[in-house]
Amino acid sequence: MRWVLLLLAIAGVYVSARALQIHNSTDTPPCSINEHWDCGVVNHSEFAVMRLSGHEIPVADFGILGYALLGILAVARRRLWFVVAAIIGLAFALHLTWIEKTIQTWCLFCV
């Protein structure tokens, strides 16, 4: 089971890295489908960064770190810490999904 969780964590790191790439790019995003499905709009919105200590950190960075942590915890068999981290990650993801609902634009990578 831990290897399945590791593979899912690796997939999460990949998807978060793609979102970060879109955030840092000025090209047309590969997932710009229509006015309601556009990764570029979501990843360039004011909600795509968190302001901490005067610095703007892309939300995708938190995804990369979070999924990497989940992978490490899964391989290390730290079940309690894995569950705690997964619940925190789920809460954060639900918050971001609520923001996408609010701006009425969805990102395929984020969803």
- Cα gap 38→15, rounded to integer Å: 15
Burial 1-23 (b: 16+ CB within 10 A, else e): eeeebbeebeebbebbbbbbbbb
Most confident of 12-26, 33-47, 84-98: 84-98
Strands 49-52, 55-58: pairing is antiparallel
pLDDT digits (tens, 9 = 90+) for 45-95: 888 888 988 899 999 999 999 999 999 999 999 999 999 999 999 999 999
pTM of structure: 0.86
